[in-house]
Structure 1
Amino acid sequence: MAELDTAHMAKLRWRCRRGTTELDRLLNRFLDDDQAGYACLDAAGREVFDQLLSIEDDRLIDWLLKGEPAGEPSLEKISRRIRAASGL
């Protein structure tokens, strides 16, 4: 696994700051999980995670906290992965 760029990770961490503490914790836990989190994603997975961070909080709450389907397969896959990394 290649070393992740510190500046890139800082930008991601900033983008993971959301409107709710629950989303903040969930997304940051995924960033910090070296076994099943962001560091384990391939380039395509990282692009989808970046796309996910562009989604409004209400939808993220539905997908990540409530477990509702995301509708798009790639977003559904990353949502399940984030939930699994947090034990949900």
Structure 2
Amino acid sequence: MANLDSKAKLRWACRRGMLELDVLFMPFVEDAYDALSEKDKGIFQRLLEGDDPDLFAWFMGHEKSDDEELDYMVQLILNRVKV
């Protein structure tokens, strides 16, 4: 995925085929993305390259990504949405 240098492009990339992913990604982009380090922004953008079934399994806790950076980002997003 090309560097998503604009917020509009990033929002578009966050639109997924699964509502469960949309409700995680969209608030994260709006509320937390700008505060991430450049490295973490890159990891988040890489996460968005994933297939919806894999992302769903990771976020629902059914599986864990073999990529430590992607797993870190999944946990960061999950911790952010917990009440």
Shift of 1:68: 2.9
Unpaired runs of at least 5, structure 2: none
The equivalent position to 2:64 in structure 1, one of 65, 69, 72, is: 69
Q: What secondary structure, in the 3-state scheme, does the structure 1 residue paired with 2:6 have?
A: helix
Alignment partner of 1:84 is 2:79: yes
Coordinate RMSD, CA, aligned: 1.7
Aligned residues: 79
Deviation at 1:67, TM superposition (A): 5.8
In structure 2, distance between residues paired with 1:66 and 1:84: 13
Distance 2:72 2:41 in 1: 12
Alignment correspondent of 1:21: 19
Q: Which residue of 2 aligns with 1:48?
A: 43
Determine the C-alpha separation between the residues in 2 that align with 1:54 and 1:32.
19
Query: What letter matches 1:46 in structure 2?
Result: K
Cα distance per residue 1:44-86 (max 9 Å; x no partner): 1111111110000000001123363211111011010011111
1:38 pairs with one of 25, 33, 55: 33
Query: Counterparts of 1:84 and 1:67 in 2: how far apart (Å)?
Result: 17
TM-score scaled by structure 1? 0.81
Runs of 4+ in 1 over 2 A off after TM superposition: 65-68
